[in-house]
Amino acid sequence: MNHRVVCFDVRLEKSDYVSEFWDEKRRSEFLFLPNIEWPLSVDPMTWPSVFYSTIFRDAKTLPYGKIAVDPQKDGGEYWRNLSEMRAYYQKNRPPELRGVFIAIQLFSERPLREDTVPYLISKNIQAALPLGHALPEEPPAGSEFLGYDIADASWISGLTNCGYPINEKRQLART
């Protein structure tokens, strides 16, 4: 199995969003196992970042972090550089904010040496996942592995952000 760090982030601490955002209704709709205490995911709609783009701040129903990132800075691709992210976090974080630093890695059977990973959308349409270059190229020493997620190229989790109907959840749980 090939793997590559694609970016870094600082995600919200459990106490800053879980009880409010992951209520019983949301858990039953979006989680295969609704009793999971703290859903972790690469999907920021599941496990929100402390950073938010000022473009999306008006979406009131979503949990957001406390550190604004200018759209010119983020472009959807910020934090490929861990040192740069740490410095921005330290400079802009409110004193009460306790984030969880993470490295997001892509695991694939395909080689991950190129800047993109091609994939098919349909028989006639091919796209590619941009990988960029993360610094460092490996998670820092002493990092703890949190688990796997299954997500598409836009970071939407197939495990925690799909809103499966009850009958489909039952069928998938059996497989």
Question: What confidence tens digit (pLDDT) does each residue in 83-115 have?
Answer: 999 999 999 999 988 899 999 999 988 888 888
Helical (H) or strand (E) element with 30: helix 24-30
Confidence tier at 159 by pLDDT (50, 70, 90): confident
3-state SS string for 102-114: EEEEEEECCCCCC
pTM comes to: 0.86
The token pair that represents 51 in the structure block: 């950073």
Confidence tier at 63 by pLDDT (50, 70, 90): low
* Whether residue 116 has pLDDT greater than 90: no
* Whether residue 40 has pLDDT greater than 70: yes
Q: How far apart are CA 162 and CA 1, in angstroms?
A: 26
* Whether residue 61 has pLDDT greater than 70: no
